[in-house]
Chain A
Amino acid sequence: MQYLMLIYNEESNPPQPGTPEGDAYMNEYMAFTEDVQQKNLMLGSNALEPVATATTVRVRDGKTETTDGPFAETKEQLGGYYLLDCKDLDEAIEHAARIPCARGGSIEIRPVMVFE
């Protein structure tokens, strides 16, 4: 069953790239990605550009409204995702807990809807 793991964190939180901590952090991510790929769980993943680059689109009464920024101001922001194929929620939780951002941020696990 497919689970989308949404990675949330305060953007200032994670170790910044270019620092020794930042490099170690990136290595952890790469190790995690490799691991779930080897286990044939990985269906997709991406890191996202920061919320400052976001654009929100709404169509109301036939009019398209475009605004700068995320759909809502939140304390933690969406920074990336993994789409994994897991046996059940427990397996999904086990993997989500190993995503480096889980330590300090939040990983939201959403089951992907299945249409018969």
Chain B
Amino acid sequence: MGTAAPDPAHAAIEKIVREEWGRVLATLVGYVRDFSVAEDVLQDAVVAALQHWPGRPLPDNPGGWLLQTARRKAIDLYRRDNRFKAKRDELARMVQVEATPEDPGEAMVDERLSMMFTCCHPALAEQARVALTLRALGGLTTTEIARAFLVPETTMAQRLVRARRKIKAANIPYRVPPAHLWPERLASVLSVVYFVFNEGYEASSGQSLTRGDLCEEAIRLGRVLVDLAPDEPEAAGLLALMLLHDSRRSARSDPTDELITLEHQDRSLWDREKIVEGERLLQAALRARRPGPYQVQAAISAVHASAASHATTDWEQIRLLYRKLGKIQPSRVVHLNEAVALSFSAGPEAALEALDRLGDPGVLERYQPFWAARADILRRAGSRDEAVDAYRRALDLTRNAAERSFLERRLAALLSGD
């Protein structure tokens, strides 16, 4: 017989639910003070929506409808179920809200910032922070998140259960933390959002739509953060960085799914709208004169975005920016990228010297990006044999399929004498 075609009315409702989920759930948790209860009653409200909305004009304020329906279910639950005896205050508050004639146009108090800080609390395991943020704020289903991170659904479900249990048992407060905690806490939120983006971006040379969706989701979360934390230049810096990177998405892989490096990308495929928005955000952020790693990385991406070609890129500017980044947030990959920029601004020989000074040779032995960069620079310097050796070393250490294929092509080209 075949499966029934998906109901377009349902699809439209699910789209709305997904868009409203984060805001409604955040507000609900503010009322019920329990993540699991909030999610359960909201799920019930969604089921109700799927029953009542089809065949009628949609509510003017679908988010408000979901919130009100979920809240009523929570009131029922807290009244009837003995397990929630202690939730007297929460019950009283919800009853009062229900009794007040509600202005349908009134905006829901936006509790999403509280939700973000709670989901990204340092007391939660890093993987749990990511999963919880995507579930609570992104409205992704457990299935979608599991698929995106290539883990079994049961693993992801358990991860979420454990995280909610920890929040409850350890009493992680549901709030926007006080100002003196922001440096640490905001860094955690930004790093979760950036992690989600990178998962989507690094894998985007594959065909899995879910991975591309992760970039969209991260950008969406980034926008919420910029809206709700307008005085934080690093939030704007992160959004700018993600937009600038994402602008290149269409140009990063060819029809056979091979990775195309920046050097060879068709720049006419870059999304100009995203670039303009990214540059605007970055300029505004820099005016606050509180530079940070995301702003600097965004600046690097912006230099690339404004270059007509790889050859005419302002590599010296990029090198200086990597140097600056290396001072704020020293790391191997940053110093490596500085050397690569140097190879384009001052030539391969200068870069080889810089590479040698990069660090403990024993550590670099197993560092794939070092060998990949070294191979490429040696190739451009005309040192064929050394380059071949370096490509082989890099391949030994490469696990990513697209990258492996790329390096193999480079090696083959060298061996065939191109």
Interface residues, chain A, CB within 8 Å of chain B? 1, 87-90, 93, 109, 111, 116
Contacts and interface: CB of A to CB of B under 8 A. Distances in A.
15 contacts: A1-B171, A87-B173, A88-B172, A88-B173, A89-B121, A89-B171, A89-B172, A89-B173, A90-B172, A90-B177, A90-B181, A93-B123, A111-B170, A111-B171, A116-B85
Nearest to A88: B173
Contacts of A1: 171
Contacts, number: 22
Given A89-B121, A89-B171, A90-B181, 4 more contacts: A89-B123, A89-B170, A89-B173, A111-B169
B169 A90 contact: no
Interface of B: 83, 85, 121, 123, 169-173, 177, 181
A89 B123 CA distance: 9
The secondary structure that dominates the A interface is mixed
Nearest to B86: A116
Contacts of B173: 87-90
A1 B177 CA distance: 19
The secondary structure that dominates the B interface is loop
A89 B177 CA distance: 12
Nearest to B177: A90
Most chain B CB within a 10 A radius of its CB, from A87, A90, A111: A90
A101 B144 CA distance: 43
A84 to B, nearest CB: 13
A89 to B, nearest CB: 5
A93 B177 CA distance: 13
Contacts of B177: 90
Contacts of A90: 172-173, 177, 181
Nearest to A86: B171
A85 B249 CA distance: 52
B62 to A, nearest CB: 33
B150 to A, nearest CB: 31
B81 to A, nearest CB: 13
Contacts of B172: 88-90
The 10 closest A-B pairs by CB, nearest first: A88-B173, A88-B171, A89-B170, A89-B172, A111-B170, A1-B171, A89-B171, A111-B169, A90-B173, A89-B123
Most chain A CB within a 10 A radius of its CB, from B170, B172, B181: B170
B163 to A, nearest CB: 13
A109 B121 CA distance: 15
A116 to B, nearest CB: 8
Contacts of A116: 83, 85
Contacts of B171: 1, 88-89, 111
